[in-house]
A and B are shown apart, each in its own frame.
Chain A
């Protein structure tokens, strides 16, 4: 059975006596199992963690993974990450990663803002970035360009090699 709920309100910034605050009109954490993304594609993303001061997009350092870099050296760039992925499975291919989204600068505690999920013979690419500013749009366009030029073959090869 499917429930349909009108779109929830968004998060807005405001000021109270000169102090910046967040106005959250509604804030409901939804079970991943109730969402299409989990039910159809088996993917879960991270939600807000108010207890860790992670609410909405968070600026972190991200690096593209080898599947997009090819022979090029990895570079680190800043981006506002929103709804990254933590748990990787056999069908999920990381395309970019960050290690400080959870406020821990630990390479073992990696989060993946951009992943490709294998589905049938194709892939769904999840872009866990906030696209409110030009910087993130340029990163996304660069990823799409790399995906079309080299990543496409790598993704196809990934599926065959499994």
Chain B
């Protein structure tokens, strides 16, 4: 079983059976909220991957990889 660190953008290339998010309730994202980062992760899972979130409530916060800011993601009707 081989492990490696990888950016979110690499997980959709079909090379990983299991991906572990070590950032607990946050996940890496470009900009604020539900963007290309979440779309990449959800596509990875939908296509057959196993995504393990380490602790707390998954995808509660996005973490902007450029600014280092964390955002709580809420939807309203």
Contacts and interface: CB of A to CB of B under 8 A. Distances in A.
Contacts of B71: 4-7
Contact of B49 (A1, A45, A122): A122
Nearest to A35: B60
A147 B50 CA distance: 9
Nearest to A123: B50
A135 interface: no
B50 A122 contact: yes
Interface string B48-77: 111111111111110000000111111111
A124 interface: yes
Contacts, number: 122
Contact of B47 (A3, A5, A121): A121
In the complex, which range does the number of interface residues on chain B fall in?
A: 35 or more
- Please classify the interface of chain A as helix (H, G, I), strand (E, B), loop, or mixed, using the class held by over half of its residues: mixed
B18 interface: yes
B77 to A, nearest CB: 8
B51 A122 contact: yes
B74 A35 contact: yes
B58 A34 contact: no
A158 interface: no
Nearest to B22: A131
B50 A34 contact: no
Contact of B54 (A1, A3, A37, A127): A127
Interface of A: 1-8, 30, 33-37, 39-41, 45, 82-83, 116, 119-131, 136, 140, 144, 147-148, 152, 155
